[in-house]
Amino acid sequence: MTSASLALRVVTPDDWPGLSAAFDDLTFEQSLTYARAAAERIGARVRFIALADPGGQTVAAACLRIKTVPGLGRGIAWVAAGPLMQHRERPDPGPEEMRAVLAALRAHAQDTGHILRLRLPASGTQDIAATDQLATSEGFRPTGRAAPYRTVIVDCTEDEETLMRGLHGKWRNPLRNALKAGIELECRPIADCANRFHALYQQVQAAKGFAPDIPPEFYYALKGPDFSHEVLIARKDGADIAGMTIGRAGGTGVYLFGATSEAGRRLNAGHFLMWQAILHCRRQGMKCFDLGGIDPETNPSVTRFKQRTGGVDTTAPGPYEFRPARLSSSLIGAAETLHARIKARKR
């Protein structure tokens, strides 16, 4: 298979949820619901594309968030957790098929003049070194202009007993204590009780002084056909002591935000909610639960907490970048650097 044998077509937003649902590697970042809101947040637009083989069968698809430089008409096309390549009706892509997909995306970027950046979906089965080499052979280079993604992924197809056995002993013991503490669980759509979760989140934020790049409020209003957003709340003696929000798209659930009060920490409510979130995703038919990213350097305690759940420590291939051989690529890069400096000064 070669890039010339893949036909690219633009997919309408109305058709994207149905098309993307056919891919096992779909995550919320490639959902219509999230992508539209994320693009609007930064003044970008979305474009949905599909690549088909000579027989007309779709082999890959991607949502591109495109932000152009004013007056230039070209900019950066960002593919987060894509392109999607694990189609349910086809074997997982081999090196040649992946090469053809990347080559077709590169050709599209060359035609449009946009700098193309992408970070592939995180999966415990990937050979990062081989993927890096393959991407390089197709004109992509590693880039520090987009954030890498390392996380822990729990296999939700395992039965509950197997999942429990997979827990690290220093994680399982606090969980067992929490399960005996009489903690009650509520699970509801975020639209029903965002205020309750936010109250917990603000308490923890005030105590620890952190400020995420994208706050939880951004997610509260998300509503669409291909993204579900729920909150799990732990209660004790009639009071909320911990909360966790979960996004679901395709066959993947992802931990978005969590907050545990001082009273909740004494009862190991964080362990309780993470375990309940794993079981919840399993009951909902999710194939895996992404624990929302880890960073051993800046947050070693949270990293250790997530690594001890028995999930697989996984790094997503990329981010990679392709710059079209045009003068506009240099202008786009200069504009991005200037924008980053201005943004840093405002902080």
* CATH number where 117 lies: 3.40.630.30
C-alpha 110/C-alpha 99 separation (Å) is: 16
Q: Say what percent of the chain tops pLDDT 90.
A: 86
217 and 332 in a single domain? The answer is: no
- Buried b / exposed e across 119-148, counting CB within 10 Å, b at 16+? bbbbbeeeeeeebbebbeebbbeebeebee
190 and 309 in a single domain? The answer is: yes
319 confidence band (pLDDT: 50, 70, 90): very high
Write down the pLDDT at residue 2: 56
C-alpha 264/C-alpha 260 separation (Å) is: 6
170 and 123 in a single domain? The answer is: no
Question: Who contacts 111 (Cβ-Cβ below 8 Å, separation ≥6)?
Answer: none
Write down the pLDDT at residue 347: 59
Q: Contact 259/200 with Cβ under 8 angstroms?
A: yes
Q: Contact 183/269 with Cβ under 8 angstroms?
A: yes
Question: Position 40: which residue type?
Answer: E
29 and 174 in a single domain? The answer is: no
Q: By residue range, what is the domain housing residue 238?
A: 152-314
Mean pLDDT of 1-18: 87
100 and 240 in a single domain? The answer is: no
- Give me the number of domains the chain comprises: 2
136 and 204 in a single domain? The answer is: no
343 confidence band (pLDDT: 50, 70, 90): low
Residue 3 has pLDDT above 70, yes or no: no
168 and 305 in a single domain? The answer is: yes
Write down the pLDDT at residue 334: 78
Mean pLDDT of 63-91: 95
Question: Tens digits of per-residue pLDDT, 118-134?
Answer: 999 998 777 899 999 99
Q: Strand, coil or helix: what is 155?
A: strand
- Give me the helices (H) in the chain, please: 16-20, 32-41, 95-112, 128-137, 160-166, 169-179, 190-208, 216-220, 262-266, 269-283, 300-307, 327-346
279 and 301 in a single domain? The answer is: yes
Question: Tens digits of per-residue pLDDT, 229-284?
Answer: 999 999 999 999 999 999 999 999 999 999 999 999 999 999 999 999 999 999 99
C-alpha 199/C-alpha 49 separation (Å) is: 40
111 and 100 in a single domain? The answer is: yes
25 and 120 in a single domain? The answer is: yes
Question: Who contacts 304 (Cβ-Cβ below 8 Å, separation ≥6)?
Answer: none
Question: Tens digits of per-residue pLDDT, 130-167?
Answer: 999 999 999 999 999 999 999 999 999 999 999 999 99
71 and 182 in a single domain? The answer is: no
11 and 25 in a single domain? The answer is: yes
